[in-house]
A = this chain, B = another copy of it.
Amino acid sequence: MRHEFTREQYEALLLRYRNWGRWGPEDEIGTANLVDAASVARAAALVRTGKVYSLALPFDRNGPQTGRGRTGRVNIQHYMARDGGDIAADAGDLPHFDGTDDLVQLYLQAGTQWDALAHVFWGTEMYNARTTADVTSAGAAHNAVTGLADRAVGRGVLLDVARWSGVDWLEPGHAIDTDDLERCAAAHGVEVGPGDFVLIRTGQLAQVRARGAWEDYAGGDAPGLSVDAAHFLCGRDVAAVACDTWGLDVRPHESGLVAPLHVVLLVNAGIHIGEMWDLEVLAADCAADGRYDFFLSAPPLTITGAVGSPLNPIAVR
């Protein structure tokens, strides 16, 4: 359900889950600190069948972005610097080596992605008391997505809220709160704890596919998490949370704020957010055998100073 907070209540929540200084004044990765070798080894032990799931949407011109919005985010643009036609033209009589080459223009948050902790500010502050001065045209000097380079590996837990709710997809505006997450986890028979990667399925991608069009998936009304879900996520010290929507927060946003859960997680708790992860096939298989935790490998690209990163998250069951 949706929750409305007063400004005072909201600011109290921000402080309640603030992890600034918890891992020292130089920390840039927040609760990803809770991922360690032991937790990774335990996660690897969850592999039973060895079935691999790619949780990435295709990156192409048919993606969800519209070019609208303040930064004009567009879908990936892919160009060939050398293609088959060029090779055919240079083929000559005797076969020889030739190669194709390509490049992209890519908004780092145009598709399946991680938000870095440097992606969101509350006023002029971001995670661990870093400020706007730390993100210039040269990129993020601190809290960049590269902090996750070898940390986005561990135990994944799927909370399939849509299926648990008995629907193909949650409707736009539907807010998932802590009570929902707790009951869903209980129904799934999984515990969520420190250093886990929680994947939350609203089913919105099923809806997109059913209607055959993205429509306003990017930036329109959407199902998502209530600010109240902070109690679940921060209280359990999850390493990160990812979902199948464009923006994690339920839309319309609650309490007249913009993306209020983003501020709790990214700015205060230091919990990374994944968006536009495709959980459809994984969720069907989890439902089939009732196992909702698995090994997850979801590293960002190591783009220096980036405030987000495209990725191809891999789950192994």
CA distance A140 to B82 in the complex (A): 11
Binds B, one of A54-62, A163-171, A172-180, A228-236: A54-62
Let me know if B137 and A120 touch, CB within 8 A.
Answer: no
Contacts of A88 in B (CB 8 A): 85, 124, 131-133
Contact with B along A51-80 (1 / 0, CB 8 A): 111101111110000010011111111111
CA distance A213 to B40 in the complex (A): 35
Let me know if A132 and B84 touch, CB within 8 A.
Answer: yes
CA distance A86 to B83 in the complex (A): 9
A184 within 8 A of B: no
CB distance from A193 to the nearest CB of B (A): 16
Binds B, one of A16-24, A217-225, A237-245, A254-262: A254-262
A13 within 8 A of B: no
Contacts of A94 in B (CB 8 A): 123
Q: What residues make up the interface of A, taking CB atoms closer than 8 Å to B? A: 36-45, 47-54, 56-61, 67, 70-89, 91, 94-109, 112, 118-125, 131-140, 146, 149-151, 153, 257-260, 262-263, 295, 297, 299-308, 310-312, 314, 316
What are 22 of the A-B contact pairs (CB < 8 Å)? A39-B50, A40-B52, A41-B50, A56-B301, A67-B67, A70-B82, A71-B81, A71-B82, A73-B81, A83-B83, A84-B134, A87-B132, A87-B135, A89-B136, A99-B121, A100-B120, A101-B307, A102-B307, A103-B107, A104-B106, A297-B297, A300-B312
